[in-house]
Every structure is written in structure tokens, then in C-alpha cells.
Amino acid sequence: MTTVFDALTAEPWAIQADWLHRLAAFAQRGALDKEAAEAARLLREQEMVMAAGPSARRLEGARYAMVSQDGVAILPVFGPIFPRANLMTEVSGATSAGALLNDYRLALSNPDVGAVMVLMDTPGGAVSGINAVHDAIASGRKQKPTKAYVTGTAASAGYWIASAVGPGNIAMDRTSIVGSIGVVAAIPKQVDPGSDGVMAVEIVSANAPNKRPDPTTEEGADTIRATLNAIETQFIADVAKGRGVSVEKVKADFGKGGVMVGPDAVAAGMADKIMSYDAAFNELAAMVRNKRRADALRK
């Protein structure tokens, strides 16, 4: 699990703070159980069948997505988001950004799919791959209607993705949470020997002082923060474009790194409707049925 822990500390995260600590603790516990991974996979399958209906089937070639008999593809974004699939994504009920991107592309290209529902309950995740998912949805929604429903939380990287569906297309439960716009890095600094009695010491070459900035110094923290600020700038720009508002409004009214609940989120412009999942799904399914009827009449 050292590899997983290293991955957690090797890149910036757009995730709720408590979740990053949970993942780090989880990664340090030891080897992951493949049986637990299989149990988590089956639970995800059951959740998706309940969401898409008993007649739903797996979207051909997809990792997560299901398609209902109405032609609505359901793309779950559950748990922490990692750049790629791994055993930890399975055990922790997490989502792979790469697999999610592939599933969305499959939904766009599948003639049986008329619309897409991105079903969200995530604290966010690693920054890597999120911009690509956002861009794909922002472009793809022009091809097939795409909406997001927040059943629990769409925080940080999760909200980054949700904002891509465009103005008017984010619905949420009355008690659901959105926001946590911002980027964080967990930078380890060893001060005592490890459990094996050995302390790792890194010596950086003369012309690369910023390769290993010391997070405990003001200069090192500023170097790290500059990277985080650059990513945050892109994050905020994407949210502003997706929501159809100014960058200044996102900075001022979208929580300032905090989260908002249900009606407050709608009032601030972070989401559009308070409604049940069934109502949101039926609304999208009706759009597909109406389009199919209109297409049939034109033939």
C-alpha cells in the first residue's frame, strides 16, 4: 500500500479535507482484500440497478454506466475519484476518472442512449483527469442532453464535473451538498526514522530547488501554493463557464471553499432545482421519449 499512499501525496487533490485524511489512513492499514473489492463491486451494481430500474442493463463496454429501457444512461460518480482504476477504487467504492470518461463517450456513441444522467455522491478526488471529464461533458451535452443529480454530495472535483452539464441542469435533494471549490496538497515531511529504523534523506541537485519544496518553510509553502492556485484558477474558470456566471461570482458566492446545502445552493446559483431523483430521472426520460416520437413523425 506504500504505492497508494505515495500516490495520495504526489499530486494536488480537489476533495473535502476529511476525506484526504481518511484515504491516507486507509492506504496505510495494509494490503487490500480482493474479496472486499468484489463485495464493493456487487454493492455498486445493486445501487445502479435501483437507480436505473429493474429493466436496466449494463451499457455495452462500460465500466460503471447502466442504460434504462427509456434510453437514459446513468453514470455514477460515487466515493472518492482517482485518475485510474485500481484495487483501492474497488474496495473503497471509489470512481476512476478514466473509466468515467470512457463510459460517457460510450453513452454518446450508443444509438440506444438518448440522454445521460450523472448521478453524484462524491467528496471529490485527485485533480488528474477531472478537467478532461469536465470538457467531455461540456462538449457532449450538445450532442445528447446531460444532467447531473446530486443524491448526497458533489464536492470539489465532483462539483467540477457536475458544473459541466451547463445552466439549468443540476438538480439535487433538499439535504444534498455541493461546493468545496478549491485545491489541496498533502505533503509528507519525515522528521523521525520510520518503523524499520531508517530515515530517508533526499538531496536535490543545485539548479532544482523547487523540486522538493519544504512545506514547513514560508518559501516552500509559497512554491506549493503557486501550483495549487494555478489549478484552482482553471477549476473556477470551468465552474463559471459551466454555470454561465462570472469568475467573480464563483469566487464571491459559491462558498469560498465551503459547501452549501440544497435550497441555499440553488439560491446562490450553484444548482438549479430541488427535486427527487425519480422526478429528475423521469424528466430526462420524457425528453428522450418526446424526441423519439418527433423523430418517428419526421420519417
Instruction: Flag residues of the chain having pLDDT under 50.
Output: 1-7, 9, 30-31
| pLDDT value, residue 299 | 75
> How many angstroms separate the CA atoms of 126 and 7, rounded?
9
| pLDDT value, residue 206 | 77
CB of 12 closer than 8 Å to CB of 127: yes
* Among 70, 69, 132, 80, CA closest to 104: 132
CB of 173 closer than 8 Å to CB of 150: yes
Residue 215 belongs to domain with CATH number? 3.90.226.10
| pLDDT value, residue 5 | 44
| pLDDT value, residue 2 | 43
Q: Cell 468515467: give the residue.
A: 100
Q: Which three cell numbers stand for residue 33?
A: 482484500
The strand order across the sheet containing 95-96 reads 13-15, 124-126, 81-82, 95-96
How far is C-alpha 2 from the geometric centre of its chain's CA atoms? 24
| pLDDT value, residue 11 | 60
Coil, strand or helix: which one is 179?
strand
The number of folded domains in the chain is 1
| pLDDT value, residue 28 | 53
| pLDDT value, residue 224 | 85
pLDDT in tens, 202-230: 777 777 778 778 788 888 888 888 989 99
Which residue range forms the structural domain that includes residue 288?
2-298
Coil, strand or helix: which one is 269?
coil
| pLDDT value, residue 221 | 86
| pLDDT value, residue 184 | 83
> How many angstroms separate the CA atoms of 244 and 267, rounded?
15
* Among 62, 145, 48, 139, CA closest to 98: 62
> How many angstroms separate the CA atoms of 21 and 80, rounded?
12
pLDDT in tens, 140-198: 999 999 999 999 999 999 999 999 999 999 999 999 999 999 998 766 666 666 666 66
Q: Cell 438549479: give the residue.
A: 272
| pLDDT value, residue 213 | 81
| pLDDT value, residue 194 | 62
* Among 79, 105, 87, 83, CA closest to 32: 87
How far is C-alpha 104 from the geometric centre of its chain's CA atoms? 13
